[in-house]
Amino acid sequence: MSEEKQNQSEKSQWQPRIVAFLCNWCSYAGADLAGMSRRGYPAAIKVIRVPCSGKVDPMFVLKSFERGADMVLVSGCHPGDCHYTSGNYHARRKLLAFRELLDFFGIDQRRFKISWVSAAEGAKWSSLVKEITAEAQALGPFKTFATMLQGEPS
Amino acid sequence: MTEETIKLTIDNQEVEAEAGQTILDAAKTLGIEIPTLCYHPAVPSAGACRICVVEITAGARGALVPACAYPVQEGLGIQSNSERVRQSRKMTLQLLLARSPGAKIIREMAKEYGCEELRLERKDDDCIMCGLCVRVCQQIIGTAAVCFAGRGPDREVSTPYKLLSDVCIGCGACAFVCPTEAIDPAEFCSNPLEKIANEFNCGLDNRTPVHIPFPQAVPNKPVIDRENCIRFQTGGCGACQSVCPAEAIDYDMEDKTVQEDVGAIIVATGYKLFDTEVFEEYGYGRYPDVVTSLEFERMVSASGPTDGQLYRPSDGKEPKTIVFLQCIGSRREKGGVPYCSKICCMYTAKHTILYKHKVHDGQAFVFYMDVRSGGKNYEQFVRRVLTEKMATYLRGRVSKVFPRNGQLVVRGADTLSGGQVEITADMVVLAPAIQPSPGVQDLAQKLRIGYDQHGFLLEAHPKLRPVETNTAGVFLAGACHSPQDIPDCVAQASAAASKALGLVSHKQLTREPTIGVVNELSCNGCFECENVCAYGAIEHKELRDREGDLTATLAHINEGLCQGCGACAVTCRSKSIEVQGYRDDQMFAAINAISR
């Protein structure tokens, strides 16, 4: 096997690491439903449960990237359906503003995803994860912070 | 009024009556029947028809007097059914019969008194000129739309100048009290009332503005439909108030908003049927003999609009061939709903049995997709329908229903025989899909509970918490959760009631520990958190020194109100609020573990 081909197969085998913050009531339940209804989705996604998407501090997102995440997803209830009435509205305003700041940190905005998945949308969750995993694979590994930590110019 | 009692005897029985009462009232307390025509308890008596005459035999000058108008007197002796009385009534009836041979009540009375043989020339006017309608219109309704007109033989009940009346409010009180059913306000009223469809019977018959909503209503008491009540629309009428012996009618009552503090809420908003009119191929709404299963249910109900007689809506004939179509809108991805409505298979099987009980020589056909008879004894029930030839089941869909020679042709596929079938039917019954009640989404948002894309409310867990919702203290029962039959609804309602009782029967409320806590050392009292809290759980806590002087006002979280969403924790600039179980150090530990 030539070196080039091996590189290619390594690249296709490379699995991105996606950190997902899911609200307890909708998206986490939706992901649970996807599992219960035996819908497969890539294992690249690692789920952290939060009570509400409004509980996701921008610091959590930055911390995830710093620790080696290639993509971060925040998912909550559909606007209007928040279990806590308005938590996802707070999340939407806060995180959309925060996304604009990612360029400043040297993070590609496409690496930060926000979505709304309800507890009944197991199928949507499964297709969403497939979609963003493919996108993360296309974007390749996130190296900015790692190289900065090694003291090399990015 | 002074409590003055008067003693008199009627048919040799002693009775006490109040001053101002009539002989008729006194006779009623004794249970003595005196026939009446022009008398109505709500209307002052006129003594016009002379059918209620009684004979005074003692206490006053012996005479025949009308019982409805003659006041009681001390020591009066009355004979209500003496020979003289009977002779007088016979004469009156002969005259009334000659005038109104068509009136049913007159004929019945004449038969009772044995004077149907008529020696007089007959006229044909149902009105017996008793004037009850005139008195009701003037004295109860206060409108005076009808009155007596003409003199002698030309005397009649009419509107002024015999013109269409714009004074008449069309209340129908005159028709209601008329003993011979001779008057109809629709004939002279320029603004007659529209007929009101009876909602409970799917509009198959009509109801009055004052009505009991349905036979099993709780409480089983009449209500006034304000939109159709003349009293509320024009300010006239008031007939129901004047006849109600319990004086229970109060037109000034208003709807009230009642506020109650409760520990649990059970949502049981039920369902509505899919609008079958959108499926034009079945012709519902265009052909009167295409009905929904709910309409059919009312038609064959003993308490329904036809007293349980099954008639075709178009011509009133008995349907000899009937076709039931299942899955109208159900299991239909495009234009319908994708789910199975669950109860239609069983009630259609029941309907075929009901149909056979009503029409013994009739033939029923059922078009079905699958017969889903899951449930205790359900399969045996359907098997009985099939084996006892209650119905012929055809597996397939119907493409078109169209009229031909006064009947309906049902064209559809029979996939088991592999051919097209055409059935000429007298009636077609559609089994519409079940949908959540309109407006249930608004309610769900108010209660902060979830619902699926069809609008059915979401349980907390499909297997382990089937009647609870994600909001503590809110439970589900019945078809608001999913299409359900009666046993399922009863089971779920019992479960919800037990869960609610379990919640409120404890002295202390158990809460999740994952709620917000304020670090009072770092909180600077900016109260940004107050702006984002949806529960009003942020309180102002005053810190005072030893002298009692205010040193700081800090945020404090009410443990009973906080739901632990964490919105305040993210908003807090000094990071002084943490949600227990989701503290920042715990979150970062999770992120560290997962991102590596």
For A:8-37, CB contacts with B below 8 A are 17, 19, 25-26, 29, 36
Could you tell me the sign of the dihedral formed by the alpha carbons of B77, B80, B86, B89, in that order?
positive
What is the distance between the alpha carbons of residues B104 and B106, in angstroms, rounded to a whole number?
A: 5
Q: Which residue has the higher pLDDT, A57 or B162?
A: A57
What is the distance between the alpha carbons of residues B433 and B341, in angstroms, rounded to a whole number?
A: 6
Q: Are residues B48 and B172 in the same domain?
A: no
Coil, strand or helix at B5: strand
Distances (CA, A) of B322 to B149, B350, B496, B508: 55, 14, 40, 60
User: Which among B487, B509, B531 is the end of a domain?
Assistant: B509
Could you tell me the sign of the dihedral formed by the alpha carbons of B196, B199, B201, B202, in that order?
positive
Chain B hits for A64, CB-CB cut-off 8 Å, are 591, 594-595
A154 pLDDT band, cuts 50/70/90, is very low
Beta bridge pairs of residue B53: B66
B334 domain-assigned: yes
CATH code of A15-149, in short, is 3.40.50
Q: Are residues B348 and B488 in the same domain?
A: yes
Q: Which pLDDT score, from 0 to 100, does residue B1 have?
A: 45
Which residues of A41-127 form beta strands (DSSP E)? 45-50, 71-76, 112-116
Coil, strand or helix at B365: strand
Lowest mean pLDDT among A115-119, B450-454, B552-556: B450-454
Chain B hits for A81, CB-CB cut-off 8 Å, are 445, 450
Give the residue from B356, B426, B343 showing the smallest Cα distance to B391. Answer: B356
Nearest CA distance, A89 vs chain B (angstrom): 10
Chain A hits for B588, CB-CB cut-off 8 Å, are 60, 63
Give the residue from B113, B141, B114 showing the smallest Cα distance to B51. Answer: B113
Instruction: Provide the ipTM.
Output: 0.89
Q: Are A49 and A76 in contact (CB under 8 A)?
A: no
Q: Are B32 and B80 in contact (CB under 8 A)?
A: yes
Query: Where are the domains positioned within chain A?
Result: 15-149
What is the distance between the alpha carbons of residues B341 and B454, in angstroms, rounded to a whole number?
A: 12
Question: Can you give the CATH number for the domain in which B383 is found?
Answer: 3.50.50.60
Q: Are residues B362 and B501 in the same domain?
A: yes
CA dihedral defined by B26, B29, B34, B38, rounded to 10 degrees?
70
Q: Which pLDDT score, from 0 to 100, does residue B401 have?
A: 96
Average pLDDT over residues A69-90: 90
Give the residue from A102, A20, A103 showing the smallest Cα distance to A62. Answer: A102
Size of interface A-B (CB pairs under 8 A): 101
Average pLDDT over residues B314-336: 94
Q: Is the pLDDT of residue A34 over 50?
A: yes
A151 pLDDT band, cuts 50/70/90, is low
Residue of B nearest to A87 (CA): B567
Q: Are residues B301 and B158 in the same domain?
A: no
What is the distance between the alpha carbons of residues B344 and B378, in angstroms, rounded to a whole number?
A: 12
Average pLDDT over residues B509-517: 86
Lowest mean pLDDT among A138-152, B262-276, B531-545: A138-152
A7 pLDDT band, cuts 50/70/90, is low
B345 domain-assigned: yes
What is the distance between the alpha carbons of residues B249 and B252, in angstroms, rounded to a whole number?
A: 9
What is the distance between the alpha carbons of residues B526 and B291, in angstroms, rounded to a whole number?
A: 65
Residue carrying structure tokens 């700041």:
A101
Q: Are B43 and B243 in contact (CB under 8 A)?
A: no
Helix (H) or strand (E) holding B99: helix B83-99
Chain B hits for A90, CB-CB cut-off 8 Å, are 532, 567, 570-571
Residue of B nearest to A71 (CA): B595
What is the distance between the alpha carbons of residues B369 and B377, in angstroms, rounded to a whole number?
A: 21
Q: Are residues B186 and B74 in the same domain?
A: no
Chain A hits for B453, CB-CB cut-off 8 Å, are 120
What is the distance between the alpha carbons of residues A24 and B565, in angstroms, rounded to a whole number?
A: 10
User: Which among B509, B534, B568 is the end of a domain?
Assistant: B509
Chain A hits for B564, CB-CB cut-off 8 Å, are 51
- Touching check for A40 and chain B: CB below 8 Å? no
Residue carrying structure tokens 């694979």:
A137
Q: Which of A25, A52, A82 sits opposite B566 (nearest CB)?
A: A52
What is the distance between the alpha carbons of residues B319 and B407, in angstroms, rounded to a whole number?
A: 10
Chain B residues near any Cβ of chain A (below 8 Å): 445, 448, 450, 452-453, 458, 462, 470-471, 514, 532, 534-535, 563-567, 569-571, 579, 582, 584, 587-588, 590-592, 594-596
Q: Are B394 and B412 in contact (CB under 8 A)?
A: yes
Average pLDDT, whole number, for chain A?
A: 88
Q: Which pLDDT score, from 0 to 100, does residue B144 have?
A: 85
Cα separation of the two ends of chain B: 97
Q: Which pLDDT score, from 0 to 100, does residue B313 have?
A: 92
Average pLDDT over residues B11-36: 89
What is the distance between the alpha carbons of residues A49 and A24, in angstroms, rounded to a whole number?
A: 6
Q: Which pLDDT score, from 0 to 100, does residue A10 have?
A: 55
Q: Which residue has the higher pLDDT, B234 or B319?
A: B319
Average pLDDT over residues B427-446: 94
Q: Which pLDDT score, from 0 to 100, does residue A6 have?
A: 55
Q: Are residues B189 and B168 in the same domain?
A: yes
Helix (H) or strand (E) holding B584: helix B584-595
Average pLDDT over residues B560-576: 90
Helix (H) or strand (E) holding B27: helix B23-30
Chain A hits for B339, CB-CB cut-off 8 Å, are none
A3 pLDDT band, cuts 50/70/90, is low
Q: Which of B470, B579, B591 sits opposite A48 (nearest CB)?
A: B591
Q: Is the pLDDT of residue A4 over 70?
A: no
Q: Tell me, what DSSP letter sits at residue B43?
A: B
A107 pLDDT band, cuts 50/70/90, is very high
SS3 content of chain B, % helix, strand, coil (to 5): 25, 20, 50
CB spacing of B564 vs A68 below 8 angstroms: no
Q: Which pLDDT score, from 0 to 100, does residue B462 have?
A: 82
CA B373-B379-B381 angle, to 5 degrees, is: 110
Q: Are B337 and B435 in contact (CB under 8 A)?
A: yes
B538 domain-assigned: yes
CB spacing of A55 vs B579 below 8 angstroms: yes
User: Which among B456, B477, B509 is the end of a domain?
Assistant: B509
CB spacing of A84 vs B453 below 8 angstroms: no
CB spacing of A60 vs B592 below 8 angstroms: no
Backbone dihedral region for residue B581 (phi beyond 0: left; psi -120 to 50: alpha; all else: beta): left
B555 domain-assigned: yes
Question: Can you give the CATH number for the domain in which B56 is found?
Answer: 3.10.20.740
Q: Is the pLDDT of residue B275 over 50?
A: yes
What is the distance between the alpha carbons of residues B103 and B321, in angstroms, rounded to a whole number?
A: 40
What is the distance between the alpha carbons of residues A55 and B569, in angstroms, rounded to a whole number?
A: 7
Six token digits for residue B482: 């999913």
Residue of A nearest to B568 (CA): A55
Q: Are residues B288 and B400 in the same domain?
A: yes
Residue of B nearest to A51 (CA): B565
For A:60-119, CB contacts with B below 8 A are 60, 63-64, 67-69, 77, 80-87, 90, 94, 118-119
Q: Which pLDDT score, from 0 to 100, does residue B2 have?
A: 52
Coil, strand or helix at B517: strand
What is the distance between the alpha carbons of residues B575 and B571, in angstroms, rounded to a whole number?
A: 8
Percent of residues, chain B, with pLDDT higher than 90: 51
Q: Which of B582, B592, B596 sits opposite A50 (nearest CB)?
A: B582
Residue of A nearest to B578 (CA): A55
Distance of alpha carbon B481 from its chain centroid, rounded? 23
Q: Are B180 and B128 in contact (CB under 8 A)?
A: yes
Chain A hits for B470, CB-CB cut-off 8 Å, are 25, 29, 83, 119
Q: Tell me, what DSSP letter sits at residue B180?
A: T
Q: Is the pLDDT of residue B468 over 80?
A: yes
Q: Which pLDDT score, from 0 to 100, does residue B455 have?
A: 94
Average pLDDT, whole number, for chain B?
A: 90
Tally of structural domains, chain B: 4
B152 pLDDT band, cuts 50/70/90, is confident
Q: Tell me, what DSSP letter sits at residue A78?
A: P
Domain of residue B152 covers 131-251
Average pLDDT over residues B523-538: 89
Q: Are residues B292 and B401 in the same domain?
A: yes
Helix (H) or strand (E) holding B386: helix B378-387
CB spacing of A81 vs B450 below 8 angstroms: yes
What is the distance between the alpha carbons of residues B252 and B119, in angstroms, rounded to a whole number?
A: 55
Q: Are residues B525 and B483 in the same domain?
A: no
B451 domain-assigned: yes
Q: Which distant-in-sequence residues (6+ apart) come within 8 Å of A134 by Cβ?
A: none
Residue carrying structure tokens 């017969």:
B371
Burial class (CB in 10 A: 0-12, 13-18, 19+), B548: exposed
Nearest CA distance, B576 vs chain A (angstrom): 14
Q: Are B369 and B341 in contact (CB under 8 A)?
A: no
Average pLDDT over residues B268-288: 95
Average pLDDT over residues B118-131: 83
Average pLDDT over residues B325-331: 96
Average pLDDT over residues B420-444: 95
Q: Is the pLDDT of residue B414 over 90?
A: yes
Q: Are B158 and B125 in contact (CB under 8 A)?
A: no
What is the number of other CB atoms lying within 10 angstroms of the CB of residue A122?
22
Residue of A nearest to B566 (CA): A55
Per the document, the length of chain A is 154
Q: Are residues B340 and B427 in the same domain?
A: yes
Q: Which pLDDT score, from 0 to 100, does residue A1 have?
A: 45
Q: What are phi and psi of B470, to 5 degrees?
A: -75, -15
CA B398-B403-B407 angle, to 5 degrees, is: 100
Whether residue B219 has a cis bond before it, omega within 30° of 0: yes
Burial class (CB in 10 A: 0-12, 13-18, 19+), A35: middle
Chain B hits for A63, CB-CB cut-off 8 Å, are 588, 591-592, 595
CB spacing of B596 vs A87 below 8 angstroms: no
- Touching check for A52 and chain B: CB below 8 Å? yes
Distances (CA, A) of B443 to A29, A117, B73: 21, 21, 66
Q: Are residues B230 and B286 in the same domain?
A: no
Nearest CA distance, B387 vs chain A (angstrom): 39
Q: Which of A19, A51, A52 sits opposite B594 (nearest CB)?
A: A19
CB spacing of B587 vs A48 below 8 angstroms: yes
Burial class (CB in 10 A: 0-12, 13-18, 19+), B406: exposed
Q: Which pLDDT score, from 0 to 100, does residue B469 have?
A: 86
Q: Are residues B452 and B318 in the same domain?
A: yes
B120 domain-assigned: no
Q: Is the pLDDT of residue A49 over 60?
A: yes
Q: Are B431 and B328 in contact (CB under 8 A)?
A: yes
Average pLDDT over residues A43-49: 94
Chain B hits for A26, CB-CB cut-off 8 Å, are 450
CB spacing of A84 vs B584 below 8 angstroms: no
Helical segments of B478-556, H only = 486-504, 528-532
